[in-house]
Amino acid sequence: MSGLRHEDKVVVVTGAAIGNGQAIATQFAREGAHVIIADIADASETLAMIEAVHPKHQPQYIETDITKEEATRALAQTIRASHGQIDVLVNNAGVYDEEPFELLTFAEWKKVMAVNLDGLFLMTKAVLPSMKAQNFGRIINMSSNTIWLGTPYLVHYVASKMGVVGFTRALASEVAQYGITVNAITVGLTATQRPNGDDQPSGNILAHLYPSVAYRPETPEDLAELVAFLASEKSAMITGQAINVDGGVARH
Ligand SMILES: NC(=O)c1ccc[n+]([C@@H]2O[C@H](COP(=O)([O-])OP(=O)(O)OC[C@H]3O[C@@H](n4cnc5c(N)ncnc54)[C@H](O)[C@@H]3O)[C@@H](O)[C@H]2O)c1
């Protein structure tokens, strides 16, 4: 295979065992990248999908809890040892549980912050030295359109995803000089195949998220296209941004 947009790029996608991350990882493989999946859950389904679209490269699954500093460091070290470079990091892993604020516990708050913000911080810390040394890097962070909508019953989640945007803006200013861009995507409600059908958003949240869908329900593939573009050389002039992909539900 040659002439593919991400030929031989080394791409790390967190939380790619299922859902949005799975579609993003598969898209990179289709475009020729070496894909590394960092997840706490078994990613064999994604590995099989990747092998089907790109038989040449062996995708790697490295079991990683992104909230643990040692684990994220070890992950980066393993990738450097096997590939010598890390070109793209997609901070996709994220958790969200619906809870009215009055019932929200400090433990639930901390769990969401740990994955959505500590994980983002630790993974970025781990890969940045490689990107700096290469004078090239692309970091793409998953935020949510709930930050524009102020969606109820997700105060902890919305606060964390606004944090993702703050992180993105400030880090972009520090690393532009090394040819590294940092962008966020504010994702709309996406039909991901979650393992438990019973953890789908309730009617309260759906009513808030679906008042004015402009086109059609969103799919993980809708995101994957944008992520692949933001990871490419051609997006060099886009950095520090939060790009909204939700079919026009929120206007940003
Ligand atoms: N699906 C949506 O409607 C939607 C909307 C807006 C934003 N998002 C964002 O998109 C991203 C992916 O969402 P999704 O719906 O595909 O989620 P999902 O729940 O389907 O998948 C999340 C993945 O992250 C992994 N993960 C969780 N904690 C982890 C940890 N500590 N270390 C490593 N991996 C961990 C899980 O094992 C899972 O594979 C998240 O950041 C989410 O906030 C999703």
Residue range 221-246: mean pLDDT, rounded: 96
Q: For the domain 10-245, what is the CATH code?
A: 3.40.50.720
Q: Check if 61 is active-site.
A: no
Using the predicted structure, report yes or no on whether residue 251 has a pLDDT greater than 90: no
25-83 pLDDT per residue, tens: 999 999 999 999 999 999 999 999 999 998 778 899 999 999 999 999 999 999 999 99
172-227 pLDDT per residue, tens: 999 999 999 999 999 998 876 554 445 566 666 666 666 555 567 788 999 999 99
Q: Which of 95, 113, 213 to mutate to test the pocket of ligand 1 (most atoms within 8 A of CB)?
A: 95
Q: Which of 45, 62, 96 to mutate to test the pocket of ligand 1 (most atoms within 8 A of CB)?
A: 96
Q: Whose CA is nearest to atom 32 of ligand 1?
A: 65
86-129 pLDDT per residue, tens: 999 999 999 999 999 999 999 999 999 999 999 999 999 999 99
- Ligand 1 nearest-atom number relative to CA 195: 20
The model's confidence at residue 2, banded by pLDDT at 50, 70 and 90, is low
Domain ranges of the chain: 10-245
pLDDT of residue 218: 86
Using the predicted structure, report yes or no on whether residue 1 has a pLDDT greater than 60: no
- Ligand 1 nearest-atom number relative to CA 116: 41
Taking CB atoms and a 6 Å cutoff, what residues make up the pocket around ligand 1? 14-15, 17-21, 39-41, 64-67, 92-96, 115, 119, 142, 144, 187, 189-190, 192, 194
pLDDT of residue 171: 98
Longest dimension (CA), the chain: 55
Residue range 229-244: mean pLDDT, rounded: 97
pLDDT of residue 166: 98
Q: Which of 64, 187, 194, 223 to mutate to test the pocket of ligand 1 (most atoms within 8 A of CB)?
A: 187
pLDDT of residue 160: 98
| Residue recorded with tokens 């859902």 | 19
Distance CA 207, CA 42 (A): 33
pLDDT of residue 102: 98
pLDDT of residue 113: 98
CA of 27 to the centre of ligand 1 (A): 17
